[in-house]
Amino acid sequence: MERTLIILKPDAVARRLTGEILTRFEKKGLKLIAAKFMTISKELAEKHYDVHKGKPFFESVVGYLSSGPSMVIVLESANVISMTRKMMGATFGYTAEPGTIRGDFGCSRGYNLVHGSDSPESAAYEIPLYFKPEELVEWEFSDSGWLYGRD
């Protein structure tokens, strides 16, 4: 099974979209194994975006991520990273396809509602920034056979 870090960013929280976005992931069949409501500190946001340090947009994305409360979650499923990336849509709301989270709820370049790990390597880096191993809850869906098939 693969894991991904998802952050429902301050604009999603401020616009009261956290429940709607989380519902989309759950209805898809993705397993929620950790959740935390928090205001991400500037220091943590800098660690999160460390790969972009020195780029012109670094300070603005750090400021945005640390500007208010966020819902930070870990989802688990086979191919969870590619599924959540498709569900989130293109980075900028005004170019994201209808039916995606950003396409349905976003129209900004600067505020894009949600973050998702873009690779297994980034998930392995990002998840421990927000969660201790004991905060990741192992459990099974009662209907997993219907969700994932027999493969």
Quick one: pLDDT band at residue 141, thresholds 50, 70, 90?
Answer: confident
Strands 69-77 and 31-39: antiparallel
In this prediction, residue 3 has a pLDDT band, given cuts at 50, 70 and 90, of very high
Residues pairing with 5 in the sheet: 74
Q: Are 149 and 42 in contact (CB under 8 A)?
A: no
One-letter identity of residue 72? V
Report the pLDDT value the prediction gives residue 10, as an integer from 0 to 100. 98
Mean pLDDT of the chain: 95
- In tens, the pLDDT along 91-114 reads 999 999 999 999 999 998 889 999
127, pLDDT greater than 80: yes
**What is the spatial distance between Cα 78 and Cα 62, in angstroms, rounded to a whole number?**
30
CB of 114 closer than 8 Å to CB of 101: yes
Average pLDDT on 4-26 reads 98
Residues marked active site are found at 115
- pTM comes to 0.94
Give pLDDT, residue 150.
64
The whole-number pLDDT of residue 151 equals 58
Q: Please state which of the four CATH numbers 3.20.20.20, 3.30.70.141, 3.30.565.10, 3.40.50.300 is assigned to the domain occupying 2-137.
A: 3.30.70.141
Domain extent listing, the chain: 2-137
Residue 22 near residue 125, CB atoms below 8 Å: no
Tens of pLDDT, residue by residue over 51-102, are: 999 999 999 999 999 999 999 999 999 999 999 999 999 999 999 999 999 9
Instruction: Write out pLDDT tens, residues 12-22.
Output: 999 999 999 99
